Amino acid sequence: MTVAAAAVLNDGELIEPTLLRRPEAGPILATRVIEDSTSVWMRALLRHVVTAGTGRAADVPGYAVGDKTGTALKFIADRYDRRRRVATFFAAFPLSDTPRYAVLVLIDEPRSNAGSRAHAAAESTAVPAAGQIIAHIAPLLDLN
């Protein structure tokens, strides 16, 4: 899921993911999956989710985070269970240019936070978690 979402924001190029730092020299093999102009538009939309939408708790000053939230009913025993959910939050940064980093937070059967207006939704569970993750790791990534 992260690879697909990252391709949408990565100028439309699907790149094999790695947890290791890539060598500075040498080409990175990529497959174009959408037009680069569409990718630019999607980055603007996902940035708007952070600045004016459900992703505000993931806005980390100085890192231009963009995101997409999702809350879904769980599918159990051939039916959707209205009492169980999965909260998902995908973020990429910095969006000031082609993003270099992506974060996916998926919470299975989240519980609502005290004072939350949304019952166990991604906005009140996964988004704050991702914001804290980004706030802690972004300074370590030497993005400036």
Q: Which of 3, 95, 99, 103 is nearest to 51 (CA)?
A: 95
CB of 5 within 8 A of CB of 69?
no
Over residues 65-90, the pLDDT tens digits come to 999 999 999 999 999 999 899 999 99
What is the full DSSP assignment across 14-59?
Answer: EE---SSPPPSSS---EEE-S-HHHHHHHHHHHHHHHHHSTTGGG-
CB of 47 within 8 A of CB of 95?
yes
- Domain residue extents for the chain: 2-141
Task: State the pTM of this model.
Answer: 0.82
CA 110, CA 106: separation in Å to the nearest integer? 9
CATH class of 2-141: alpha beta
pLDDT tens series, the chain, 144 aa: 889 998 999 899 998 887 888 777 777 889 999 999 999 999 999 999 999 999 999 999 989 999 999 999 999 999 999 989 999 999 999 988 788 899 999 999 998 766 655 567 888 899 999 999 999 999 998 776
